[in-house]
Structure 1
Amino acid sequence: MLHLRVISPSERSGEVLRILGGEPGATHVTLGLAAAVDPPGDVIQAEVARGSLNDVLAALTALDLSRTGGISFVPSGTVISDAKERADTAAPKRRDRTVVWAQLLDQMREGARLTPTFLTFLAIAILLSAVGVTTASPLTLVGAMVVGPEFLPLAALSVGLVRRDTRLIRTSVRTLAISFPVAMVVTWLATLLWVRLGWIGVGNVEDARAFDFIYQVGPFSLVVALLAGAAGMLAVVSSTSAVLVGVFISVTTVPAAGLAVVAAFAGKWHIALSSLAQLSVNLMGIVLAGVAVLLLFQRADR
């Protein structure tokens, strides 16, 4: 269940109550007359089954409440009530087949933004990848995969494509197009410093056969990216954050970017280009899988 809270102008409150009263998946409806101060109006609250929330939000939005009042919702937590059980049972759609699109879009708009924090995390992840490659440290590479924040703008791009949200698409593409080159330039400068200090060597990059999976593009490069993208989108939709760690470790986006920088620094251009190809395949596979998962949910929602 989700706890719905509506601030409604007094003249609209009757319509809001009729919407909630006519929705079998809504219960525990309460009304606070003139309880809201800014914006002024009545406060109407209810517990709504997840399978009913999209319909309720669509009806409330049609009343222009987003402009004249406000609509918010959060997980209800534990609700002990026979009325709640009846509402859950009466909801037109099952919980596991329902995507609350308003919630997902809001989450993705936040995750798609290019922020200093996002750029810092990506730069740190690619720096760790460069260290892992040059020191032949698989653990450092795994750490780089976990630190990498690139999944959220990729998921946001998938959502934007499915919902035809051009603003979200532009924001996601902009974040990816700017952040990866900037983080890779930072890694190039750091590699230059480390080589001059004698901390690392890049001459044996071509012989690092243990890291073939990072830059050699093969059929499973796309398969793994598709599987990881599907699992990641399912985790986002179902709010199962623990699964995302496995998704981060499965794909080689950040390690491929780090190896591309080190290989280019060493003049091993075929490895650098192959790493960039691996990076592209992973990015594309994650987005395509995310789109496919969301289309399935959208079809089930209809």
Structure 2
Amino acid sequence: MLHLRMIVPPGRTPDAVKLIESTVGTTHLVVLPGAARDPSGDVVTCDVAREACDELLTGLRGLRIDEDGAISVDDVGLSLSKRADAAEEEAPGEPADAVIWEQLTGATHEESTLSVTYAAFMILATMIAACGVVLDNAILIVGAMAVGPEFGPLAGVCTAMVRRAPRLAARSLLALLTGFATAIAVTTLFSLGMDAAGLFSREQLDGTRPNTSFIWQPDPFSFVVALLAGAAGTLSLTSAKSGALVGVAISVTTVPAAANAAVALGYGELGQMWGSVEQLLLNLLGIMLAGTLTLYVQKRLWGTQRGRWTRRGRPGTEPARPKPRA
């Protein structure tokens, strides 16, 4: 279940209440007239099944409550209520299959914004990967993959493609490209400094490197893994199973490829550099392609399922029987 809290202009409270009551999967409706001060208005709260939340949010935005009031959504960790159980039973489909597009857009908007923190994580992850590349240390490579924040902008691009949101797409691409370009530039300087200190050497980069040589030698499996990771990462976002994102992060060679390109650039190893860039672009393309297709399929399947449920008739919407005359 999800908990909605709204600040509603008094003149629109009846319409908001009517919308909530007519949406199957809602319960625990509370109206506090005049309780809000900034902005002023009525406070309306309710619980809603995850499957019905997107439809309800669309209707509330149609009432312009998000413009003149406020709407917030929180997860309900535990709800001991027979009415809540009944509301979840009435809602169509399964909670894990439902996509709350407003929540997804908000999450990807935050994660795909170019900020000092985002750039710092990208640079640090690439520098860690550079150490792993030179030392041929798989543990450092895995750690760098987990630290890298690049899946946020990638998810932002996928969401923008499906929702046709050009601003989100531009913001995500800016964060993605600027982040990698900055990380590669800083890591190149870092690798030159490590070489001057005697901690990096060309011989280490040109060595056999059985654990990390795959980073600059892309093959068809690189694209296949990127496709699988993109689909898995997108499903983890839409189903709120964020724990799967860690597995996605350590299954693709984006940050390590950028690090290998940076170190190779510092030593003038153009062959390794271009191989690493190819690996990076192949992974980014595969993730964005699979993520976009996954979201599109989810949108189509959920729309079809909800359409069938609507045609069958919503539970509890049977016309009332006329009362017998006295």
Bin the TM-score by the shorter chain.
Answer: over 0.9
1:110 shift after superposition:
0.3
| Structure 2 equivalent of residue 74 of structure 1 | 74
| Structure 1 equivalent of residue 117 of structure 2 | 117
Please tell me whether the aligned partners of residues 97 and 239 of structure 2 are also in contact (alpha carbons under 8 angstroms). no
| Structure 1 equivalent of residue 171 of structure 2 | 171
CA deviations over 1:260-298 (Å, ceiling 9, x no partner): 111222222111101100000001111111111111110
| Structure 2 equivalent of residue 91 of structure 1 | 91
| Structure 2 equivalent of residue 149 of structure 1 | 149
1:116 shift after superposition:
0.7
1:33 shift after superposition:
0.9
| Structure 2 equivalent of residue 46 of structure 1 | 46
1:229 and 2:236 matched: no
Please tell me whether the aligned partners of residues 98 and 239 of structure 2 are also in contact (alpha carbons under 8 angstroms). no
CA distance in 2, matches of 1:121, 1:68: 37
Gaps of 5+ in 1: none
TM score, norm. by length of structure 2: 0.90
Please give the secondary structure, in 2, of the residue aligned with 1:169.
helix
1:10 shift after superposition:
1.4
CA distance in 1, matches of 2:38, 2:267: 61
Please tell me whether the aligned partners of residues 202 and 262 of structure 1 are also in contact (alpha carbons under 8 angstroms). no
CA distance in 1, matches of 2:96, 2:135: 45
| Structure 2 equivalent of residue 274 of structure 1 | 275
CA distance in 2, matches of 1:209, 1:162: 41
Once superposed, what is the RMSD of the aligned Cα atoms? 1.2
CA deviations over 1:236-274 (Å, ceiling 9, x no partner): 112222211111111110111111111222222111101
Please tell me whether the aligned partners of residues 187 and 261 of structure 1 are also in contact (alpha carbons under 8 angstroms). yes
CA distance in 1, matches of 2:219, 2:164: 31
Query: After the TM superposition, which residues 247-262 of structure 1 pair with which residues of structure 2 at under 5 Å, given as runs?
Result: 247-262=248-263
* Amino acid of the structure 2 residue aligned with 1:253: T
Please tell me whether the aligned partners of residues 233 and 290 of structure 1 are also in contact (alpha carbons under 8 angstroms). yes
CA deviations over 1:60-98 (Å, ceiling 9, x no partner): 111111122111111122111111111101113321221
1:199 shift after superposition:
1.4
Please tell me whether the aligned partners of residues 203 and 266 of structure 1 are also in contact (alpha carbons under 8 angstroms). no
1:163 shift after superposition:
0.6
CA distance in 2, matches of 1:187, 1:244: 25
Runs of 4 or more consecutive aligned structure 1 residues displaced over 4 Å after TM superposition: none
| Structure 2 equivalent of residue 287 of structure 1 | 288
Deviates more, 1:278-287 or 1:131-140: 131-140
CA deviations over 1:16-45 (Å, ceiling 9, x no partner): 111111112111111101111111111111
| Structure 2 equivalent of residue 185 of structure 1 | 185
TM score, norm. by length of structure 1: 0.97
CA distance in 2, matches of 1:135, 1:68: 57
* Amino acid of the structure 2 residue aligned with 1:96: A
In structure 2, the CA distance between the partners of 1:14 and 1:67, relative to structure 1 (3 Å rule), is: same
* Amino acid of the structure 2 residue aligned with 1:199: L
User: Number of matched residues?
Assistant: 302
